[in-house]
Amino acid sequence: MADSIVVPELRDSPEGATLIRWLKKAGQEVELGEPIAEIELDKAVKPIEAQSTGVLLDRVVDEEQVVRPGDVIGYIGTVGETLPESPPAGGRKRQQTAGLSGHQGTIAKRVTASARKKPVIHVNASADMTRVVAFLDTYNSQHSGVEMRYDDLFIFALGRLLKRFPGFCRYMRQEEVVCISGINVGFAVAIEDRLFLPVIKDADQKSIEDISEEFEQLVNRTFDRCLTTDDLAGSCLIVSNLGMYPIDSFDAIIYPQNSAALAVGAVSKRPVVVDDEIVIRPMMRMTLTVDHRLINGKEAAVFMTRLKKTLEKAAFG
């Protein structure tokens, strides 16, 4: 009888994971301990290793399907060996699901719980992005092969600001206040219906060039689905940028182990009053959402005021 390939215990995602990629085709030889598939957990991608040596006789779960510990996803044996008529208890053959993927289902549960439990306030501000636009144009024209992005500037500015606002580097765990080690800024990356929140560690200590390079590396790892648990851990604040769409403003939900989230909209030309005259400027709207148990309205307003000034001065040196 062929050996079953069983999904192991998933400590990081006990409720399930998504089989995102088969690394071996049916009929190929596999060695004991060789990675043959990859599953996407809540915070990382984990390989499933062959539990015996032989030929991969059948793959009974398709890619993008949800699996749980104990599920049978395939069989290893010798050519011609008999396969069970149906997977053992817990396994599912060629299953089709209409629910969320394992990763997205976990994200959905966490943000829902966060939205219900956190009493929040929203603070809005608009920033004149004239100098930021000029800074990016100049920088990118002088550095061939390197493209600085708005996100790089936001993360750089937030890293410096968070160092001066230690109250933002805490979160509530039941009735306890937990302090986060390091000034770590997360950012949202969406791939189809999945949301990922990679984190740039120690953003207050890194140059804008270092942040830009690390941002690109994390985005690439996100699309390649090779983020590690460490890549997604430890954020103080998440910035969500929808500026690539014609979105003026929106409210971001605070991730469970954070106390704030920043949402930024598109940079667009708008009439504004400067020195009692109406002029056209590239403006950007920002919304800061904070956990009111830890951050009061005044602190949130001061934070946004300083972020606005940093952007309007293009103080990225």
Q: For residue range 88-132, what is the model confidence (pLDDT) as tens digits?
A: 444 444 444 445 555 566 666 666 767 777 889 999 999 999 999
Task: Indicate if the pLDDT at residue 37 is higher than 70.
Answer: yes
For the domain with range 3-99, which CATH number is right: 3.90.650.10, 1.10.10.410, 2.40.50.100, 3.40.50.2000?
2.40.50.100
273-281: which pairs have CB atoms within 8 A and are 24 or more residues apart?
A: 281/128, 281/129, 281/130
Q: How many CB atoms lie within 10 A of CB 197?
A: 21
Range from 76-90, 188-202, 274-288 that averages highest in pLDDT: 274-288
Strand pairing report for 17-22 and 65-67: antiparallel
Residue 174: pLDDT band (50, 70, 90) is confident
What's the token pair of residue 142? Answer: 């002088």
Concatenated DSSP letters for 120-187? EEEEEEEEE-HHHHHHHHHHHHHSTT----HHHHHHHHHHHHHHH-GGGSEEEETTEEEEPSS--EEE
Helix (H) or strand (E) holding 191: strand 189-191
What's the pLDDT score for residue 215? 96
What's the pLDDT score for residue 92? 47
Q: List the chain domain ranges.
A: 3-99, 103-313
- Judged on CB neighbours under 10 Å (0-12, 13-18, 19+), 89 is exposed
Instruction: Report the chain's mean pLDDT, rounded to a whole number.
Output: 88
Question: Greater confidence, 174 or 184?
Answer: 184
- Would you mind telling me the total number of residues written for the chain in this entry? 317
Strand pairing partners for 274?
277
Q: Which CATH architecture has domain 103-313?
A: 2-Layer Sandwich (3.30)
**Percentage with pLDDT > 90 across the chain:** 60
The string of pLDDT tens digits covering residues 236-245 is 999 999 999 9
The string of pLDDT tens digits covering residues 245-300 is 999 999 999 988 899 999 999 999 999 999 999 999 999 999 999 999 999 999 99
Q: How many CA atoms lie within 13 A of 259 on its CB side?
A: 22
Strand pairing report for 170-173 and 268-274: unpaired
What's the token pair of residue 263? Answer: 């949402």
What's the pLDDT score for residue 105? 63
